[in-house]
Each structure stands twice: as structure tokens, then as C-alpha cells.
Amino acid sequence: MERNDIIDFKALEKELQAAVTADEKYRRENAAKFRAVEQRVASYEEFRGIVLASHLKPLERKDKAGGKRTVPWNCHTTPRGSTQDETTEISQEKTPLQPQTSAEFYRDWRRYLRSGPERYQALLQLGGPKLGHLFQTDVGFGLLGELLTALADHVRPADRLAVLGILRSLAGTGRFALNLSLMSCAERASCRSLFQKLQAMDTPPPVKGGLSQEEQGLEEQPGGLQEEESLLQELLGLYQVD
């Protein structure tokens, strides 16, 4: 077998594990959503708490208070990881965000992108088509609001077309209407603010070097500016912005 034909089993195993983890997370959180609806929770915060705690397991009889604990009871809330995790974090910050799955995006979004400007630049770097591919099944509970907030807080006139492309791709993901309905009041306010800013922006001259092929095509078509405005009006309806 030639060198180029050698299969990288470690890479395949890593990709498979990431896909399994993302599928387990999706199924777990989806089941928690149905449980919360059946329980008729009184508020959005209570609903959110049930979903975010879906990974926790009940204590068993052998789990005694004050006993020796070999692992953290809630690994998702542990503030710092091992030395290896810290080393990975440092190296990740030096490289562009390149998630191959929704699970990898969620991990990087939570662990490495901690400021608003960093999150905004990461979204622009990935672009609408890539984000749409990553989240074609589901954006994930709580993440849609965070994405819209990052866009609303840092959108610039020069990025108007790119942001519209991101919004269009997110609107085409699975369970979009459900995720939109589950946003908090603050996230809904950020969504309205984002569209208000987009409406108030004058369309800048196209900078084709920084646009995706899809966005370049939209800009080069006759009446491209009119189509951009039509897209904005369509998105206003999809995101239920008055």
C-alpha cells in the first residue's frame, strides 16, 4: 500500500467520537425539553435549568456526603481543566477557529471564545455556509441567542452582507422555529437590536475579497442591492421581528 493510501485511523476515531458525543448531547437535551414541557414549568429560567442540567445523573446509595471524591460531580461547571487542557487552550487561541462538527464548535465557543469581539470575528470567519452546514440538524439549546447577541453587539456596516448571509443560514437549520421561541427576553431584545442596526445601515461598496462565493454572486447579480433588501425583509419575518 502506498504512503498516500494509508488510512488515518486516529483521525477517523476522533471524528466518530465527536459525532457520537454530539448525537448523545442532542438526544439528551431534546428529551429534557419534552420533560420540561410535560412538567409545565413556570418560567423560561426553570426550563433552561432543566435542559442545561440534563447531563447530570442521580446519586446512588454508595455516594455518601463527605466521602472521597475521585472525579468532579459536575464536570461541565469545573472552572479549570488539567494541565493538558490548559496547553490545548493556549495553542487553540493562536489558531483560527476550524470546527468540523457542531460539537467541536460548541466546545470552542464555550472554552476559547470568551469575549464578544472574539465571538463576532469567529462567526465572520466561518461564514453563513459553514455555519449552516455545522448546524443543519439543530443549532442547540441556548446557542442561537448567543450567536445573535454576538452579532448584534458588534455588527459593522462593512459586514452587513456577511451578517445577512449568516442569518439566512441559521434560519435554514433544523428546529429553528423551536430554538427561536425558546430565546430569553434579553436574547429577543438583542435580535431586534440586530435587525434595527441592519436596517439603519447604508449598504457599503462590495469588498469581494472578503466575501464567500455565495455572497459575491448575490452582489454581482443585476439588482443585487434590491435582492439584499429583499433578503433583509424575508429575514425579518423568519426571525419574527416586528
The reply to whether 71 falls in a domain is no
Check: CB of residue 181 under 8 Å from CB of residue 141. no
For the chain, how many structural domains are there in total?
1
Residue 41 is part of which domain span?
9-52+97-238
What pLDDT, on the 0 to 100 scale, is given for residue 202? 62
Continuous segment of H or E residues that includes residue 23? helix 9-39
Give the lowest-confidence range in 24-33, 62-71, 174-183: 62-71
In a domain, 57, yes or no: no
C-alpha cell at 110: 464555550
Q: 15 pLDDT band (50/70/90 cuts)?
A: confident
| Residue 80 in domain | no
- In a domain, residue 72? The reply is no
Tell me the torsion sign for CA atoms 130, 126, 230, 182. positive
Q: Specify the higher pLDDT residue, 39 or 111.
A: 111
Residue 135 backbone dihedrals phi, psi, to 5 degrees:
-110, 30
Please name which of 75, 148, 149 lies closest in space to residue 107, comparing C-alpha atoms: 75
Residue 122 in any domain: the answer is: yes
Cβ contacts of 157 within 8 Å, gap of 6 or more? 201, 202, 204
Is 69 part of any domain?
Answer: no
pTM: 0.57
Q: Kindly tell me if the per-residue pLDDT of 154 is higher than 90.
A: yes
Task: Say if CB 42 and CB 153 are below 8 A apart.
Answer: no
| pLDDT (tens digit per residue) in 40-72 | 766 776 677 777 777 666 555 555 555 555 555
- Residue 103, burial from CB neighbour count under 10 angstroms (0-12, 13-18, 19+): buried
* Percent of the chain clearing pLDDT 70 (strictly above): 67
Cβ atoms within 10 A of the Cβ of 198, count?
21
70 falls within a domain: no
Nearest to 199 by CA among 167, 223, 232, 230: 232
For 63, 181, 183, the CA distances from 48, given in Å and listed in that order, are 27, 12, 10
Give the torsion sign (CA, 108, 112, 114, 119). negative
Asked if the structure places residue 90 within a domain, the reply is no
pLDDT in tens, 214-226: 555 554 444 567 8
